[in-house]
Structure 1
Amino acid sequence: MNELNRIDSNRLTLDNPYGIDVTIFANEKVPIEPAAVRELNSMLTLHETVEAVHAVMPDRFAEVPLIRNVALTPDFHKASGIPVGTVLETSGFVVPQAIGNDINCGMRLHRTNLDADEVKQRADELETACRSMFFEAGRRIPMAWEHREAMLLSGIEGLFDVVDASFDEGMWSYFHRTDREDTLSRIDRNGNLQAGNIYGLESLLGKPGRISRDSQIGSIGGGNHFVEFQRVERILNGQVAHAWGLEAGMVTVMVHTGSVSVGYACGSFYRSKVREVHPTGISHPENGIYVLPIAPDVDDTGAIFWDTMSNAANFAFANRMFLGLMAWASLEQCLGETTFDLIYDAPHNMIWKEDKDGHETYVHRKGACPARGYDAMADTPFAHYGEPVLVPGSMGASSYLLAGNGFAGTNQSAAHGAGRAVSRGASMKGFEREFEAFMRQFRVVTPVDFRRQEISQRRDIMQKKLAELRQEAPFAYKGIGPVIETIKDAGMARPVAELRPIMTVKG
C-alpha cells in the first residue's frame, strides 16, 4: 500500500506510482480508516485504465486525458470502489462511478420564525404530524405527465414554468407560497441541470392527460438520509449569520437526501452505456471503475450520460424541495402559520464542469460539498460571504453551517458530514449501552411508532427498525468537532452556526 505522509497539522499526502497529486485533509484527531486508504489506492489505478483506453482509441478524446488531482475531505471513508469524501478533477474524460448511485444527494436548509422551546413543548404533536405526513399517506404531491417531464428536463425551474397556481392540491399549495426568483437563487445552478432527453423513466412519467401520484417524490430514502428539526445552538460568525437571517434559539429544518430509486435507475442505465464503449481489445479494469471519454461529435454516449445524470439530479432537487415543504406543513399543523425561508440547497454527489486555463475540466464530488468563495458566488445572495456549506453530524449530534472560502486545495470543496468511523456491519456488534442511552435521549420519527403498545409488543418489527437506527447512531461516526476544525483550519470554510437536533425524521 502506498505510504501516507503528514505534511502539516491538517494535511497528509499519499505517495503513488502515477505522480498524481493526492491530499487527505484530516487533523491529528480525525481517524483515518485503513480500508478507505486501500480503496483509495485501488481507485488510483484508474490512471492505468484511462491510459490504456486512450492508447487504443485516441480519437474518442477531445484532448489527452489527465487526472489533475485528488483531494479527500475529513469525512473520508470507505464506500464501494471510490471513497466517500473524494474530490476528483479530470480533463478529457469523466468517471460516472465517482458520484455513486445517489446522484445529487445533497443538503437543504430552511429557517423559520419559530422558537425552539415552543417547538419542544409540542414535540409529541409534531412527531404525530410528521409520521402522518412522511409515512402514512399524509403527503399529497399529485403530478401530471407534463409536470414530471418539466421536472426531469429542467428541475425546480421547470416546475415553476409549468405548474399553474390553480393546481394547488396538497404540497403544491406550499410550493405556490414560495418566491420563484429568491428560491432559485438559493439553489446550486438554480435547481436546473438542463437535459435534452429523458432516458428509462417512462414509468415515472405516467400517462399524458392523467394526474397521478408516485412513491418516490417526497421520499427520504434510507441510510443516513433525514429531515431534521434543529435549534440554532450557537452563532459562530455574527456578521454572516445576521446576513443569512439566523439567530440563536431559532428553529431550522435540514433535509439530506437525493434521487433515491430514480438515481439508482439512471446510474445503472448510464454505467451500462459506459461499459459498452470500453474497448474490446483491453481487459476490464480490476477495480470495476470505467471511464467515459469526452469528445464532441464522436458518438452519443457522452450526451446520454449528461442527460441521464441531469434527469436524476433534477429529480433530487425537487425531492429535497418537497421534503422541506412537507416539514413546513407539519409545523403549521401544530403551531399555526410559520415562515419557512430557504437558506441554501446544494449537491454533494455530482460532476461539475469547470474552466481551467481554457480547458474544460470535470470536478467529481462524492460526498463532498461545494464550498466556493466570493467570486464564484457573484450574482447570487452569497456574493459577499461565500457559498453556504452544510455539514451534518451523526444522528443526534450537532450539524454546522459554514461559509465557503473557495479553497483551491480541495477544488473549492468541504466535507459533507462527520464520516463513518465503523462500517454498518461493525456497528451491529457491541455498543449496547451507548445505543440504549442514545435512544433514551434522542427523538427520532420513523415509519414505526415506538409509542404504540401493539408495536412495542411486536419484537420482530422493533428489532428490525432499531437495527437500522443503530447503523446510523453516533458511535458509528467520527466526531463532528475535529472534522469542523480541519475544515476551518485548512481554510475550506468558516463556521457560521452550530445547529442542534430537536427531532429527526428517518425513512
Structure 2
Amino acid sequence: MSLNELKRIDANRLQLTNPYGIDVTLFANQEVPIESVAVDELQSMLQLQETVEAVYRACPERFSVEPTIASVALTPDFHKARGIPVGTILETRGFLVPQAIGNDINCGMRLHRTNLDADQVKACFDALETACRSIFFEAGRRIPMAWEHREALLLSGIEGLFDTIDQSFDEGLWSYFHRTDRHETLSRIDRRGCLPARRVDGLEDMLGKRDRVHRDSQIGSIGGGNHFVEFQKVERILDGQIAHAWGLVPGMVTVMVHTGSVSVGYASGNFYRDQVRQRHPDSVRKPENGIHILPVGPEDGQAETVFWDAMHNAANFAYANRMFLALMAWASLEKCFGETQCELLYDAPHNMIWKEPSQGHESYIHRKGACPARGYDAMVDTPFAYYGEPVLVPGSMGASSYVLAGNGLPGTNQSAAHGAGRAISRGASMKGFDREFERFLEEFRVVTPVDFRRQDIRQRSDIMEKKLADLRQEAPFAYKGIGPVIETIQDSGMARPVAELKPLMTVKG
C-alpha cells in the first residue's frame, strides 16, 4: 500500500481508491503531512466491507435493513492507531462497529472562561504549580461519593449527579459543584451530559458498598498520552461577533480539559467487544483485521442493549470526569487568587457513536478522534443556536489551541478534527530531537506528579528520566503543526475560527 492510492480532488480533499468502491474522503491541504502507515491501516479497516457482506449472506435475518457502509471521512489530524485510524468518521446503516470508537469512550474536550487575565496568572506561576500538584496529584481532589451517587453517574451522567447530590453534601469539590447552575451547565454539554442507560454492566465493583461514602482513583484523573488540563490565554480574536457572544476577550485566562473515561472506558469497551466477538457466526471466517460488527435487528436486540448501556456508562463517567478536572483547576486558581469565576463554554466528545435519521432509517455515525461540528440549525434550543456548535481543537503541548464554530459540513457528517494529530509515533519521538526537547522544557511550564523544582528529585535520575520520557512523547515535534490543520478545517467549510488560545501552564498525568 502507498500514498499513491490517495488522489487529490481539490485544495483540501483527497479521495482514497479502494477495492470496495466505498466513498472515502480525507480532508487535508497540501501542508498537512500524511502517514503511509495510516493509509495502510485505513485500507485494512475497509476490509470491514467483506465482513459485513459475509455476515449478511450467512444471517440476513439478523439485520432490520440491508447493511451498508455509507461513507468514511478522515479529518486532517488523521494518523495511525490500533486497527482504526484516529480522525475517522464512519457512517453505517444496519450495523454497529464498537471498535470504531477506540478504548477511551467519550474522550473529549471541555473549555471554561475565567475572570482572570494572563498577567495575573504569570505572576503567580510557582504558587499555581504548587496548588495544582497538591490538588491533582497529592490527594487533594476530595470527591467522596456514595453508592447511589455512582449509580446515578453511570446511568444518567451529570444530570444524575444534579438529581442525587444534596446541597448539604458539600465536602471537597462538591462545594464547587454546587456553585454551578444546573440549566446553564447542562445546556453547554453535548447531549446535556447524559446518555441514559438501563443498567450498569461490567462496572459493578466501581459502585462500592451501599451505605458507605468512599473515594476512588479514577474520577478526577487526567489519564496518560496527550490528555491534559491546561491554563491558557485568549491570544487572538478571529471572529469578533461570535467571540463576543461566547464571552471570549483578549488576555482572558481559560481552562481547557482533554480526557475521557480512562480505565472505566477500557473496562466497558472490553466488556462489550467480547460480547460482540462471541456473536460472530460460526459459519463465517473471523475478520482478518480483527474488526467485528454488531448487526442491528430483532435477533441481536439484547446484545445491542448491552452495548448501548455499557457505552453510555463509560460516556457518562467521562462527562463527569472532565467536569471534576475543571473543578479541580478552579479550586487551584482560588487557592492563589481568591474567589474566581470559572464558567463553562462547552463540553463535547470525540470518541462516540451517534444515532442519526437517514432515509427513513437510522444511521450510525462513529467518530474516533473527531468531534461534532454541527451548524446553527442543529443547535436550536441551545446557547449556540445563532452561531453553530463550539469546536475545540487543541494543538500539541506548548502549541496554540483554537475555538471554532461548526458549519455542519455534510461531507464530514458535521464533524471536524479533534486536534493536531501525531506526526511521528511515540517510539520515534524518543530518537533524536534533543535540542528541540531542551528548548521546550526551557520555555514551557508543565505540572506533573514529579516536581522538577525539588533538589532531591533532581538527584533521582531514574525518576527524572521516566517522567521526561513521558513528556518527550507528547512534545510539539511529535505532532503536526496546528496551523495547516486549522486552515483545512476553515477552507473546507467544517468550521469557522473564533479565537486562538495560547498555553500558559499544562497539567499532565
Which TM class, normalised by the smaller chain length? over 0.9
SS in 1 for 2:397: coil
The match for 1:315 is: 317
Q: 1:68 aligns with which of 64, 67, 70?
A: 70
Structure 1 partner of 2:387: 385
Match of 2:32 in 1: 30
Q: Which residue of 2 aligns with 1:345?
A: 347
2:337 counterpart residue number: 335
Q: Whole-Å Cα distance in 1 between the matches of residues 126 and 416 of structure 2?
A: 36
Identity of aligned residues (%): 77
* Cross-structure match for 2:281: 279
1: CA distance, partners of 2:408 / 2:327: 31
Tell me the amino acid that sits aligned with residue 197 of structure 2: A
2:293 is matched by which residue type in structure 1? Answer: V
Give the Cα–Cα distance (whole angstroms) in 1 for the partners of residues 299 and 376 of structure 2: 36
Q: Does 1:120 align with 2:131?
A: no
Counterpart CA distance in 1 for 2:128 and 2:60 is 59
Report the Cα distance in structure 2 between the residues aligned to 1:281 and 1:306, rounded to whole angstroms.
Answer: 26
Equivalent runs, 1:96-495 vs 2, <5 Å: 96-296=98-298, 298-495=300-497
Q: Whole-Å Cα distance in 2 between the matches of residues 144 and 178 of structure 1?
A: 21
Q: CA deviation at 1:356?
A: 1.3
The CA distance in 2 between the partners of 1:426 and 1:291, in whole Å, is 33
> Letter of the aligned partner of 1:152 in structure 2?
L
DSSP 3-state at the match of 1:312: helix
Report the Cα offset of residue 357 of structure 1.
2.2
Question: Does the 8 Å CA contact 2:61/2:299 hold for their aligned counterparts?
Answer: no
Partner residue of 1:5?
Answer: 7
What does the per-residue CA deviation read over 1:292-339, in whole Å, with 9 as the maximum and x for residues that have no partner? 101146441100000000000000000000000000000001001011
Question: Are residues 1:43 and 2:45 paired?
Answer: yes
Secondary structure in structure 1 of the residue aligned to 2:487: helix
Contact 2:62 2:299 in 1 (8 A): no
Give the TM-score of the pair, scaled to structure 1.
0.99
TM-score scaled to structure 2, two decimals?
Answer: 0.99
Q: Residue type of the partner of 1:185?
A: S
Equivalences, count: 507
Which contiguous aligned blocks of 4+ residues in structure 1 show a shift greater than 2 angstroms? 296-299
In structure 2, stretches of 5+ residues that fail to align are none
What is residue 500 of structure 2 aligned with on the other side? 498
Structure 2 distance, partners of 1:220, 1:127, is 16
Matched residues in 2 for 1:357 and 1:284: separation? Answer: 31
SS of the residue corresponding to residue 374 of structure 2 reads coil
Aligned-residue RMSD, C-alpha: 0.7
Letter in 1 for 2:33: P
The residue type paired with residue 310 of structure 1 is H
Structure 1 gaps of 5+ residues are none
C-alpha distance in structure 2 between counterparts of 1:68 and 1:439, whole Å: 46
Distance in structure 2 (CA, Å) of the matches to 1:299 and 1:97: 19
User: Could you tell me how far 1:119 is from its partner in structure 2?
Assistant: 0.5
Deviation at residue 476 of structure 1 after TM alignment: 0.1
Which amino acid letter does the alignment assign opposite residue 124 of structure 1? D
Counterpart amino acid of residue 322 in structure 2: R
